[in-house]
Every structure is written in structure tokens, then in C-alpha cells.
Amino acid sequence: MTPPVKERWKFWLTTLLVFVVVGAAISVPIIRSRMKRAARLQQQTEEQARRELVQTVPMNPSDPRVKAKLFWLSDSDSSALAPVTVELPLSSDPVLRSKQVLNTLLAGPVDVELRTLPPDAVLLAFYILPDGTAIADFSEALATSIPSGIASEQLAVDSMARTLEANVPEVKRLKILIHGQEVETLAGHVDLTGTFIVHADTSQAPANPVAAPAAGKVGAIAAPTLTAGSSAVKLAQQ
Amino acid sequence: MLLDVGNSQRPRLLFILGIAFLFLAGAMMTHALQTPSQTQQSARSESSQIPTPPSGQSATPVPTGPQSSAQASQNGLSVVVLDPAHGGTDLGARGTGGIQESEIVMEFTAEVRKALEQQGFQVVQTRQANDNPSFDDRSAIANAQRNAVFITLHIASTGLPGTVRVYVNSDLPAVTTANGFIPWDRAQAPFLGLSRKLGDLVQGMLTQRFKGSPDTAQSATIRQLRTTAAPAIAVEVSSVVVNDRADLDHMASGVADAIARGVAAFKPLYVVPTTGGVQP
């Protein structure tokens, strides 16, 4: 006996519906994961493009190899900085030289635990004003990826100031920008509205209020040439 | 019965009821959104004696006339302004197991407040709830007080767990205007010496209890301290990276006791500086 025509339609419709539901249940998660992967790939490509755009200054092997001093965390005391001597072919041009040492600082030491700056931060631009004030513009990752806190933020800034101090005598002060903008703090604590003293023997006063790096009394995070007294820091009268 | 109507009337009645319900829900939401801002406004009008921070940073000065310093010297230190850092959308440092700095500093502040009040100090807080006043708003609360010190409380995301560090602002050379006012953005400058004394005393008390902490206060360029016209320190507890939140909770009473004893030891040393910012 064959079922009546109406009954057969019902059967095929139900079967079709079952197939649709089963098919959807299988394919939706696959489509979703593919979409996620595509979005991630696109993000990576953007990041890669940005990195290529602001590609680190290549070291020129013909430049004389000098012993550069880079300041990362001390392996005996993680709340202090310690100099590490690295032999690098450094340019004699102060801007190129600054970019080379800052990029080496960003690349981090052999022991990643001792790094002071987040690995995904990029130096976007660097230039030096005639009065010796260096402007260093970093990607947002410097502010967003750094561990939040007074100690960690101060160590990050001090590692840059002391590395520039040790390797680029032309830089007198350091002003840090994030993605081309002046920001109030690095990650909620350390003041970035001023400039940081790099070489204490500044003959010209800066145009902005000065936020000096941690001064003398605290050996841990102090710039070595700074003294505890206020004589180390000179401010412009506004 | 309300719904005991003819079949033809039922959809219309349901439609009207639905509209009424939506209207009520909308009104309640509008009311809920308006309430906090109104509360804030009334709170602001009540505290109208607090000087408004500048729209452009250096515009509004902090008065420290000879009269006020003489008054302060006579009266002595009586007020402690406690600043639980971060808050609102700014969670601060975040650690394992959902530990948030903005939340834990409130608990620490409550303990510190209790300990300071036991020592006879009046305590003013820069925030009472989970909101995030600006740096200038927090400084304005401190700068409106006479005979006060300012303590901002933080939990670090680095450092040896179980240690505490005290920070004072790095050197800020004092700048005064012709009329004897200190510019707002340099308000801390005349107080740096006192801040250092307060910081060293509090750090000393903390180090007795929390081994591995430094012996003296450290210097750092802290935004919050720069605009504060009072002896001001930052206390940072290490850290949000603990296995168990209870490890941090256990530190609260010890930190509170050490801060209260440090401030009490500082009290005899407290005088408003007579140089830098005071008109002759």
C-alpha cells in the first residue's frame, strides 16, 4: 500500500527540514571559526603593514661597531635597572643612532623577563629639536601593553632616558608621545606631560614643564648622573 | 476580570497594555539614568568651597599666603586626604583571578581610614564609590583642605609580592608668579621636602612589617602628586599578581597601621613651607 499523496509530501518536507537543521548545526560553527580566522588574519596583515611602514632603522654594517650600553632590568633586583653592553654598528648621526639604540631596547634582552618595554610597542617617529629635546613617538602598545603601576612605568621611562644618555650625547631631554599625541600619563601613573632629563648639564631651559626621571636618592631607578638636589633639573619659567 | 472581554476586544486591550508597559519601562530607565548625575550635581554644589581645577592647567593658582601658613603652623596637621586610585572604567592593574586594583584600593582605603581616625585624624576621601574623578578633581579636594597631607593608594602589577613601596614626586623646581601664587601644574613643588619626610617615615613603618620593602621612599614622576599642594605620597602594594586574593587582603591591616603610625610620627614635623610660592 502506498501512502496518499498528501502524506508523502509531509514525509519529504520533514526529511528536508531535518537535513536543513543537521546541516546548519554542522556548518554554522565551521563558518564562524573561518570568519574569526579571516578577521585575525586581516588584523595581522594590518599590524604587519604598520610595522613595515615604520620599519626599524637597519644597522649599517659599515658603521663602526661600538659598545652600546642598554638599560634593562637588573637580574639581581627586578626593581632596578642595570646596564648591558652590546656591540652594535651605530650611526654617527644622532637621530639614526637614537633610533638604533631605542629599537634595540624595544627588541629586549636575551632574558625576556628583564625587558622594560612591551614587545609589541613600536617606535613610530624620532627627531631632535635644535635645543636638544628629543621627541620619541611610540605606538599605542607602549601605553596599553605595559604593566600598569608606578614602578613599572617609571622603569620603562628611565630605561629609555638612561639608554639615550649613555649613547647619544646630543639628546638633552626626552619627550614621549603616544601615536603622535601628548598624553597625560603612560598607563595611569607616570606623568608624560613634561620632558625627562637625559643629560643633566642642559644649558638651555626646555619649553615645557620638566618631569625629571627619578633623582639620585633612590639608586634603583635614578639616572646615574643626576643628583638628589634640585640642581639637576632646570625648568623654564612659564 | 480585566481580560474577560469579547474576543474582538482582546487584541486591542493587549495592544494598549503593551504600549502602557513600554511607556512605564521607558520612564523608569530615564529616571535611572538621570539620578546619578543629579546626585553628582548636588554633591558638587555642596562642596562649592573646593577650588575648581583649571581648564588650562596653569591658569588657576593655589593660594598659600603668609596668613594661611601661619594659621597652619598654629593648628598643626589634622586632615589626611586618602585617594583610592583609579575607579569607574579605569580598573588599574589587573591580576590573576579577576583581581582589580580599583576595587582592592577601596578596601585598603577603608582600613587606612579606620587606623587614621583611631589616631585622631580627620579623613577625607577623593572617591567613595566606583567612579573615576580626574587627577585635577582629586587634587582639588586635597588643595581645598588646610593642614592636610595627601596619600594616594595603589596596587602594582609588578614587584615582589608582599612588599610595599612609598613614592614622592621627583624634583619640581618651584615657580611662583608675581602675586605669590603657585601655578596649579607645579603645586607640589614647595612641599617636596615635607613629602620626602612623610614618605621616609611611612616607608620606615611599612618596611618593619613587610620585609623586602625599601628602606626609604623612592622618587617617581607621578601625575597625581604634581598638582597636589600638600605633603603628598603614593603608596604602592605589590602586587595584583598573587595566587590568592586573600594574600592581599591580609596585608590591608598592616599597611593601614603602618601608614597611620607614619603620619602620626610626621605630625610634629608638619609646617607649611614659607618659601616658594609665598609672597613676602
Same domain assignment for residues B191 and B82:
yes
Report residue A214's pLDDT band, with 50, 70 and 90 as the boundaries.
Answer: very low
Same domain assignment for residues B27 and B81:
no
B87 Cβ contact list (under 8 Å, min separation 6): B102, B106, B127, B129, B130, B131, B132, B133
Q: How many domains in chain B?
A: 2
Instruction: Give the rounded percent of residues in chain A with a pLDDT score beyond 90.
Output: 57
Same domain assignment for residues B19 and B106:
no
Which pLDDT value is given to residue A220? 29
* Structural domain contains residue B76: yes
* Structural domain contains residue B56: no
Q: Which set of grid coordinates corresponds to residue A112? A: 625576556
Within 8 A of A76 by CB-CB distance, chain B residues are none
User: What are the tens digits of pLDDT across the range B68-107?
Assistant: 333 444 458 999 999 999 999 999 988 877 889 999 999 9
Distance, in Å, from the CA atom of B209 to the CA atom of B205, rounded to the nearest integer, reads 7
CATH code at position B215: 3.40.630.40
Interface check for B100 against chain A (CB to CB < 8 A): the answer is: no
Within 10 angstroms of residue B265's Cβ, the number of other Cβ atoms is 16
Give the residue numbers spanning the domain of B8.
1-46
pLDDT of B269 higher than 60: yes
Which pLDDT value is given to residue A193? 94
Q: Write out chain B in H/E/C secondary structure.
A: CCCCCCCCCHHHHHHHHHHHHHHHHHHHHHHHHHHHHHHHHHHHHHCCCCCCCCCCCCCCEECCCHHHHHHHHHHCCCEEEEEECCECCECCCECHHHCEHHHHHHHHHHHHHHHHHHCCCEEEECCCCCCCCCHHHHHHHHHCCCCEEEEEEEECCCCCCCCEEEEEECCCCCCCCCCCCEEHHHCCHHHHHHHHHHHHHHHHHHHHHCCCCCCCCEEECEHHHHCCCCCEEEEEECCCCCCCHHHHHHHHHHHHHHHHHHHHHHHHHCCCCCCCCCCC
Same domain assignment for residues B261 and B175:
yes
Distance, in Å, from the CA atom of B265 to the CA atom of B164, rounded to the nearest integer, reads 19
Q: Which among B238, B243, B103, B68 has a CA at the least distance from the CA of A147?
A: B238
Interface check for B167 against chain A (CB to CB < 8 A): the answer is: yes
Same domain assignment for residues B211 and B237:
yes
Same domain assignment for residues B161 and B73:
yes
* Structural domain contains residue B274: no
Over residues B100-124, mean pLDDT: 96
A128 Cβ contact list (under 8 Å, min separation 6): A94, A95, A98, A134, A135, A170, A171
For residue B235, give how far its alpha carbon lies from the nearest alpha carbon of chain A (Å): 9
* Structural domain contains residue B96: yes
Contact status, residue B84 vs residue B155, Cβ threshold 8 Å: no
Which pLDDT value is given to residue B226? 95
Within 10 angstroms of residue B203's Cβ, the number of other Cβ atoms is 25
User: What are the tens digits of pLDDT across the range B177-225?
Assistant: 767 788 898 999 999 999 999 999 999 999 999 999 999 999 999 999 9
Same domain assignment for residues B156 and B192:
yes
Instruction: Give the rounded percent of residues in chain B with a pLDDT score beyond 70.
Output: 68
CB-neighbour burial class of residue B43 (10 A; exposed 0-12, middle 13-18, buried 19+)? exposed
Residue ranges of domains in chain A: 65-230
Most confident of A29-33, A217-221, B6-10, B256-260: B256-260
Same domain assignment for residues B19 and B128:
no
Which pLDDT value is given to residue B3? 43
* Structural domain contains residue B175: yes
For residue B28, give how far its alpha carbon lies from the nearest alpha carbon of chain A (Å): 36
Interface check for B86 against chain A (CB to CB < 8 A): the answer is: yes
> Comparing B40 with A16, which gets the higher pLDDT?
A16
Cβ contact A215–B171 (<8 Å): yes
Within 8 A of A148 by CB-CB distance, chain B residues are 92-94, 101, 157
ipTM score of the complex?
0.74
Cβ contact B86–A193 (<8 Å): no
Q: Give the lowest-confidence range in A139-148, B48-57, B100-109, B146-155.
A: B48-57
For the entire predicted model, the pTM comes to 0.71
Q: Write out chain A in H/E/C secondary structure.
A: CCCCHHHHHHHHHHHHHHHHHHHHHHHHHHHHHHHHHHHHHHHHHHHHHHHHHCCCCCCCCCCCEEEEEEEEECCCCCCCEEEEEEEEECCCCHHHHHHHHHHHHHHCCCCHHHCCCCCCCCEEEEEECCCCEEEEEECCHHHHHCCCCHHHHHHHHHHHHHHHHHHCCCCCEEEEEECCECCCECCCCEECCCEEECCCCCCCCCCCCECCCCCCCCCCCCCCCCCCCHHHCCCCCC
Task: Tell me the count of A-B CB pairs closer than 8 A.
Answer: 119
Residue in chain A nearest B235 by alpha carbon:
A150
Q: What is the mean pLDDT of chain A?
A: 80
Same domain assignment for residues B258 and B124:
yes
Cβ contact B173–A235 (<8 Å): yes
Distance, in Å, from the CA atom of B277 to the CA atom of B190, rounded to the nearest integer, reads 7
A184 Cβ contact list (under 8 Å, min separation 6): A191, A192, A193, B135, B223
Distance, in Å, from the CA atom of A113 to the CA atom of A109, rounded to the nearest integer, reads 8
* Structural domain contains residue B275: no
Within 8 A of B219 by CB-CB distance, chain A residues are 214-215, 217-218, 221-222
Same domain assignment for residues B42 and B66:
no
Q: Give the lowest-confidence range in A7-11, A157-161, B79-83.
A: A7-11
Within 8 A of B226 by CB-CB distance, chain A residues are 191, 211
* Structural domain contains residue B55: no
Q: Estimate to the nearest angstrom the gap between the alpha carbon of A106 and the chain centroid.
A: 7
Residue in chain B nearest A235 by alpha carbon:
B173
* Structural domain contains residue B53: no
User: What are the tens digits of pLDDT across the range B232-250?
Assistant: 999 999 988 887 888 899 9
Within 8 A of B186 by CB-CB distance, chain A residues are 209
Report residue B46's pLDDT band, with 50, 70 and 90 as the boundaries.
Answer: very low
Instruction: Give the rounded percent of residues in chain A with a pLDDT score beyond 70.
Output: 75
Within 8 A of A81 by CB-CB distance, chain B residues are none
